[in-house]
Amino acid sequence: MDFIYLFAATAYSPMVIYRTIRHKRYRTGWAQRFGKITRNNPEKRCIWLHAVSVGEINAAKTIIDEMQKKFGNYEIVISTTTDTGFARASNIFGENFKVFYFPLDFSWIIRRAFRRINPSLCLLMELEVWPNFVNIAHKINVPVIVVNGRISDKSLSRYKIIKPVASKIFSKVSLILAQTDEYAQRFKQIGCPNERVIVTGSLKYDTAQITDNVDGADALAEQLFGKIANRKSQVANRLWVAGATGNDEEKILLEVFHNLRQAGRFSNLCLAIVPRKPERFDEVAQLIEQSGFNVIRYSKLKTLAPVAGEKSQIANRKSQIDTVILGDTMGDLRKFYSLATVIFVGRSLVPMGGSDMMEAAALGKCTIFGPHAFNFKQTVDALIKDNGAIMVKDKDDLLATMQRCLTEPDYANKIALNGRETIRKNQGATTKTIEQISKFLDG
């Protein structure tokens, strides 16, 4: 396995170097990636939770909170793979838990990491099962549990190709806690022992907070639209938020927005675009300007201290509709969602797998996404079944749907209410997950 990794690393190194220089990625955490990891409380027994990126980190929040309450005699350490995942984990958990980059899956690095961390239990979010990691954990009798487990269509196809290898790897996993019956069957298809696969539901339903009040939303509204007195106009109530967008998608959204603004009845509609990846912020800012719109970067607006009685930067524009807000900060998407009239969840008009739409639905917002949300199939199926979200086929369908949502508020509100109820009735996975985890821990 190490030889295969070495070959892959050699082939992939030019891309790593390019991304390090061009996008400023992979610049930190290399000591940890090579297994040099320290714990805050090495005298305690340890639970090691690994979540690849932002989505998995967010999904892990409720079980980490519950484990801290229930298993207080254990230290919980959290690893992640991506820079954005590390930033998110540090922001949410860094004050109370050790957060570090997941070590490279070379056998000698993994052995070093296990010696330093000395975990009693390892939890892998969704499908982050690495051969050397699982093999070494099995050899030293450390249970490994896949939490919130899922296998996408693409991953299933790949695992089927290497089923003998996959079967050998997953035979060393102690337990699979799958999100749905369908995902459970997929784990069994690739060789997981039937008795080790249990359906517990999706943790993301539990992390999606059903609320009308989001911390910081009032401050954001003031920064965007001015003082509360100035927000009594329709402008503050007609905000279209396109969240977690991906490559080539913003151009489509801007074209739809251009068509909407040409209709006089939508002249009070504002658009906020929040790209998923921070390295694309500058690129999207340029695209907005090239599309003929003024751009307000929220990173700059956020740093301005509000002046009593003044309108916001947007409200001072001669024409609000000529301005597009670029959400170029991390951790503020939920605040934008909370102010939205309609939400489009990105990376779904283009074949990128989609982004998590639970948060938008839980906030009671009319939620729209495209046809390429295959990474969130279970959530898509649940929301569509309950008429709790709208899937559009393409740009023209998105335009028609936006027109209907803006002209028929009762229709949009019904979608929003149904979506929130879908989230509510699917919650409870955290309790089931903790029950299974507790069977592998002493006291």
Q: Which pLDDT belongs to residue 153?
A: 86
Closest CA to 434 of 108, 157, 70, 21: 70
The domain limits of the chain are: 2-201+428-438, 217-425
C-alpha angle 319-321-322 in degrees, rounded to nearest 5: 75
Q: Which pLDDT belongs to residue 226?
A: 73
Cβ(433)–Cβ(290) below 8 Å:
no
The residue ranges of the chain whose pLDDT is under 70 are 1-27, 227-237, 263, 305-321, 443
Tens digits of residue pLDDT in 15-45: 444 445 555 555 678 899 999 999 999 999 9
Q: Which pLDDT belongs to residue 22?
A: 55
- The runs of H, that is alpha helices, within 226-345 are 249-261, 281-290, 298-303, 333-339
Closest CA to 119 of 161, 182, 76, 166: 76
- The runs of H, that is alpha helices, within 363-408 are 377-385, 395-407
Closest CA to 120 of 218, 206, 42, 17: 42
Residues 6+ away with beta carbon under 8 Å from 10: none
Q: Which pLDDT belongs to residue 27?
A: 61
Q: Which pLDDT belongs to residue 232?
A: 42
- Give the position of tokens 């999606």: 208
Tell me how far the alpha carbon of residue 8 is from its chain's centroid: 27
Burial label for 188, CB within 10 Å (0-12, 13-18, 19+), is middle
Residues 6+ away with beta carbon under 8 Å from 242: 249, 250, 253, 271, 272, 273, 274, 343, 344, 346
How many CA atoms are closer than 13 Å to the CA of 93, on its beta-carbon side?
29
Domain 2-201+428-438 identical in fold to domain 217-425: yes
pTM, entire model: 0.79
Taking the domain 2-201+428-438, which CATH number applies?
Answer: 3.40.50.11720
Q: Token pair for residue 418?
A: 């149904």
Residues listed for the chain: 443
- Region of residue 191 (phi > 0: left; psi between -120 and 50: alpha; otherwise: beta): left
State the Cα–Cα distance between residues 32 and 35, nearest whole angstrom.
5
Q: Which pLDDT belongs to residue 243?
A: 98
Closest CA to 180 of 207, 154, 202: 202
Tens digits of residue pLDDT in 422-432: 999 999 999 99
**294-297 and 270-275: which strand pairing?**
unpaired
Q: Was domain 217-425 assigned CATH 1.10.15.40? A: no
